[in-house]
Amino acid sequence: VNLKRPCPFWADDGHCSIKDCHVEPCPESKIPVGIKAGSSNKYSKAANNSKELEDCEQANKLGAVNSTLSNQSKEAFIDWARYDDSQDHFCELDDERSPDAQYVDLLLNPERYTGYKGPSAWRVWNSIYEENCFKPRSVYRPLNPLAPSRGGLEFDGLFSRTGLCLEKRVFYKLISGLHASINLHLCANYLLEETWGKPRWGPNVKEFTRRFDPIETKGEGPRRLKNLYFLYLIELRALSKVAPYFERSVVDLYTGNGHEDAESKALLLDIFRDTKSFHMHFDEKSMFAGDKKGAKSLKEEFRLHFKNISRIMDCVGCDKCRLWGKLQTQGLGTALKILFSEKEIQSLPENSPSKGFQLTRQEIVALVNAFGRLSTSIRELQNFKVLLQQTR
């Protein structure tokens, strides 16, 4: 992850100085050799070992086009190819080759309440909702769900009454569900007290009530939680769809430790088997199903809007919040990429890489961990229900 990318939308207003905002990167000695040596696309042993050969073949191909090509032209061809690859991405991925990119152990940097709040945090969410969400013109500012509502507007009902199409309603629900999930994590892992330098983290019922209670949120809280379940179904559907990609023998999840790699792949395939046993997924076939030209245009608009949201994550002032925000946004973007690549996934060759559909190492890590965060949110929601019953 690159936590030093500048905010592309407004001047940086300073980073969070609270110690809990800090992210501890991995020391060089702890990074698995297969990850450190391979590029983002190359997660199989064969691919890592054949990188030099590929580079050589690429140079030969470029040279064969025209022997008088300048180095500048060759670089332009490579940039064009990279641009073509990015056309399937719903997210702005960090460049692993950047000197500012660093490896982070997510287990040592858990997502929890850091104290990052106020105008800086609000501006990020406000920008996501206001500038990037499809919404009918009759919805006025502020649309941010944490802002005081005007008489408890029912956004879901308002969307359907104003004729906003399914795709645009889905887009809003996804963002709302992601926001609800992140808020649940913060409520469930809240700094309750800090005595003699020993912090105690745990669920904060008061904070949960402030963000989700029907009365305190004027009816918005339950809708936010409904959108969380909707997002969970979307990502569950993506995991079940992408299973054939990982079931092929050519995909090894290569890190350099053969035993751990085999174990990781077996665990991943277990998750896919579990997702297939649950059949009540969201059916994305109803999306972008109109006339071809209109559907293509809407899908591209959808992709660019979400890509813009992934760029806003570089405006988060707290490093730990930025880390987990980027991860969960990229996970959702990867899920969307999968859902709209069904034909390409079904036609994948068994024993060779496919140019029709590929996932980078970053996308795989983000997809699995983002789904893990949603699963945790739903588990924590059940825990809060029990705690609320005990306090009444």
Show which residues are catalytic.
318, 321
Strand partners, 240: none
CA distance 60 to 65: 9
Asked if residues 332 and 370 have their Cβ atoms less than 8 Å apart, the reply is yes
CB 307 within 8 A of CB 88: no
Q: Which residues contact 294 (CB under 8 A, 6 or more apart)?
A: none
The length of the chain in residues reads 392
27 burial via Cβ count (<10 Å: 0-12, 13-18, 19+): exposed
Q: Which among 327, 306, 335 has a CA at the least distance from the CA of 240?
A: 335
Cα distances (Å, whole numbers) of residue 342 to 71, 78, 101, 368: 38, 27, 32, 19
φ, ψ dihedrals at 195, nearest 5°: -120, 130
- Give 191-198's long-range contacts (Cβ < 8 A, gap of 24+): 191/20, 191/112, 191/113, 191/115
Letter string b/e over residues 95-105, b meaning 16 or more CB atoms within 10 A of that residue's CB:
ebeeeeebebe
Is 125 labelled as part of a ligand binding site? Answer: yes
Residue 114 annotated as lining a ligand binding site = yes
Nearest to 227 by CA among 170, 299, 185: 170
Is 211 annotated to bind a ligand? Reply is yes
Query: Helical H runs in the chain?
Result: 33-37, 45-49, 51-65, 71-86, 119-132, 155-161, 166-188, 205-212, 220-247, 258-276, 292-312, 319-339, 342-346, 361-391
CA gap 199, 196 in Å, rounded? 8
Is there a binding annotation on residue 373? no
259 is in an annotated binding site: no
Q: Binding site residues for FAD, as ranges?
A: 112, 114, 125, 176, 179, 211
